[in-house]
Amino acid sequence: MMLGLASMTAREIRAGLLAGEFSAIEIAREALERVEREDVRVRAFLEVSKKLALEAAARIDAAVAAGRILELGPLAGVPVAFKDNMNLVGTHTTCASKMLDGYASPYTATCVQRCLDAGCIPLGKLNMDEFAFGSSTESSAFGPTRNPWDLDRVPGGSSGGSAAAVAAGLSPLALGSDTGGSIRQPGSFCGVVAVKPTYGAVSRYGVVAFGSSLDQVGPLARTVEDAALALNVLAGHDERDCMSQDRRVDFTANLGEGVAGMRIGLVRSFMSAEGLSSEVRAKVEEAAAKLEAAGAKLEEVELPHVKAAMSAYYVLGPCEAYSNLSRFDAVRYGHRTPGCESLAEQYEASRAEGFGPEARRRIMLGCYLLSSGVYDRYYYRAQQIRTLITRDYAEAFGKVDCILAPVAPTTAFGIGEIGDPTEMYLADMFTTSINIAGNGGMSMPVGLGCESGLPVGVQLIAPAFRDENMLRVAAALEREYGAALVAPGFADERAGE
CA distance 359 to 347: 16
| Sign of the Cα pseudo-torsion (378, 384, 385, 390, in order) | positive
Distances (CA, A) of 340 to 97, 232, 327, 336, 403: 21, 50, 19, 9, 55
Q: Which of 182, 188, 203, 350 is catalytic?
A: 182
Where is 470: in which H helix or E strand?
Answer: helix 467-481
Residues 6+ apart with CB under 8 A from 127: 43, 44, 45, 46, 84, 96, 137, 140, 142, 143, 144, 145, 160, 161, 164
Residues in a beta bridge with 177: 217
SS3 content of the chain, % helix, strand, coil (to 5): 40, 15, 45
Using an 8 Å Cβ cutoff, are 246 and 377 in contact? no
Active site residue 212: no
182 is catalytic: yes
Cβ atoms of 355 and 375 closer than 8 Å = no
In the residue annotation, 105 being an active-site residue is answered as: no
Active-site annotation holder among 158, 159, 203, 433? 158
Taken in order 135, 138, 143, 146, the sign of the CA dihedral is: positive
Of the residues 83, 125, 196, 283, only one is catalytic, namely 83
Which segments of 239-319 are extended strands (E)? 263-267, 297-301
24 and 17 Cβ atoms separated by less than 8 Å: yes
Query: At 217, which amino acid appears?
Result: V
CA angle, residues 86, 105, 24, in degrees to nearest 5: 70
Contact 219, 230 (CB under 8 A): yes
Residues designated catalytic: 83, 158, 182
